[in-house]
Structure 1
Amino acid sequence: MAEIKLLQITPHEIKVTFSYEPSLVNLIRSIPSRKWYNDKKFWTIPCAPEALNQFLATFSGHKIEIDNELKKLQSQYEHLPSSDSRKGLKDRRSIPRTPATDRRHADLINYLVRQLRIRKYSPKTIKLYKNILLDFADYTKRPLSQVCRENIDLYLSYNAEAKNVSASRMNQIISALKFLYGELFGEHLVIKNIKRPRNDRKLPSILNHEDIVIIFNHVYNLKHKLALQIMYSSGLRVSEAVRLKVRDIDMKNMTVFVRGCKGRKDRVSILSAKLAEPLNKIMINKQTESYLFDGEMCGKHLSERAVQHVFQNALAISRIKKHASCHSLRHSFATHLLESGVDIRYIQELLGHYSDLYAC
């Protein structure tokens, strides 16, 4: 029997901790609007009667330790009148619903996720659309099926003006709304003629050879350093690098096979001969289907955020005065090949796109 701890950390969130067990992870994933904080290694659920009661029912049979503040709230929840109460008391339908606790929203979001999976959208896009639509529902304070064009326009204005989100983020929001109302609800008039913002055409930050050597010299973990080196030597996105498997590395030809890239296209890219030794070290005793870069959980790959964090730390220690990110390694790969006289069409093939050399 597992021991589970519940702690109220904000007025809206309850922290959930337990020792890792696949069965427990599957259980908590059934709770609507639960969240996993990868950097802090814990889950949260909404601090609301329906969410807490559903959690307790789902995990019945396990030992659950509840902090004192949450016990007070729980006692208040237990005294809330049920839906069968009719003796001068408001029933449960009078309790304010939020997208985080309303089962109708949860069912709709789950249906959305299923439809995205059927259409073979990437896990990253599915998570993105889900979070956008939950935020939209929270903003409108009404069921997603009862939204009008004015609600959508106000939400878009709120993101563009109050939150000042980037053009790329605005396009993601519009795409999520178009999928829900156009593809699932068939209400094309609600989203008709929504104008997309012009993309920001910012020049990518390019690191020179000396910058890259200095940054790599400040990464001391073999796994982390090799992940960054492969991103630079092969022009990979961080999402592609962390998902590489042993079978994708061709040591004989020094190439890497990148599966399910952006746009669901596979491609082959080059590997530097200098990476042969660290690659051999990291692949010792690994099965061909194993991830090249293991994550903290068994059978999981290294997280994108971990690689990004390592890069930013190394950049800060290096004192390089450039606004660079992990993605700068991919841009630098393309630039350095171009400067060496490599044909631009070949570089585009290595990157996996054929229009803009510096497309994401």
Structure 2
Amino acid sequence: MDLTWSPEELAFREALRTWLAANVPAERRPHDPAAGAAFDRAWQRVLFDAGWAGLNWPREYGGRGLSILQQVIWYEEYVRAGGPPMGFRFVAQNHAGPTLIALGTDDQKAGHLQRILSGEALWCQGFSEPNAGSDLASLRTRGVVDGDELVVTGQKTWTTGADQTDFQELLVRTDPESSRHKGLTWVICPMASKGIEIQPIRKMNGRAEFCSVFYDEVRIPLSNVVGQVNGGWATAMATLGFERGTSFIGEMAEITLRLEELIEIAKASGDWKDDEVRRKLADRRAEVAALRALNYANLSRYARGEPPGAEGSITKLLTNDVARSVHELATEIAGADILDGDLERNRWGDLLQHGMVMTIGGGTPEIQREIIADRVLELPRSR
């Protein structure tokens, strides 16, 4: 992959940097779910009106059809400018939209893509269940075909923003005789549907963006099925493939920026004089460099037309490990104050807690290693 920036890419970077400097909100995204959702919708509308929405979406669906390198530039400059986190925009922008573009019907695309890009519609993900989290194939929420409708009964959990979003990418078991990845169906579920009950889950930090969702004979039109009835595993894998494509670039850029800030903190505090501190910081820089090389290698394959695959599990593992090591070193250098409970004031404490969550979110390390062993290394399954 040629990482020498062309004149056009340099001009793109400069234009982006100028726009972000003038438009990134001065206020932080609120932690309150309702206020956070309102913030997300408003910020996405600003991006849409300025032509910065759907950068990697095809032009025929309202995107800009930008190259992989331009997406890298976007992530780097967005993080550098302190752009707001994805918040409740994440599933719609990185999951639902790309899945509909690849596998949706013309009616589904017409009904949802523009609303996603403009921020009018926010989405959540209905995959995880109390007994089917990282092991997604063991889910049990039922979907029964009744005429031209799918009748859904069951429970999902850890659903981010379920009480604030408009639609859900919902994965259900439509073949009661099936097991594991067979007999599943991916369907668009309107969150205002009759029979849905949502219970927010309050975390130890006081936030309640996660929810449990209960479905009591919820009726969803079969026209909302994306892909095929009983073919939902392939659709779900496409969804997760989009998530694991370029989304780690943003996290890599964030980790890189935080590490450089930590080096400046060490220099200002006098810890820089300690040989051990400098050694640890040098080790973290080497880890970040390795993470960057891995991301660029993946991007090079995607730029040649290869779809994202199981190698995303390697990137997720390394991203989580590097983030944790940087944040833990921050606690050593800055002391216990780094965990100050005032998360509005203490960004490092917020990042450290978020990093702990992300070791589980999207699949535990154990599940990621199973995927790597099975689908990347093609090792025989353990008994």
TM-score, normalised relative to structure 2: 0.27
User: Who wins on radius of gyration, i.e. which is larger?
Assistant: 1
Higher RCO (CA < 8 A, seq sep 6+): 2
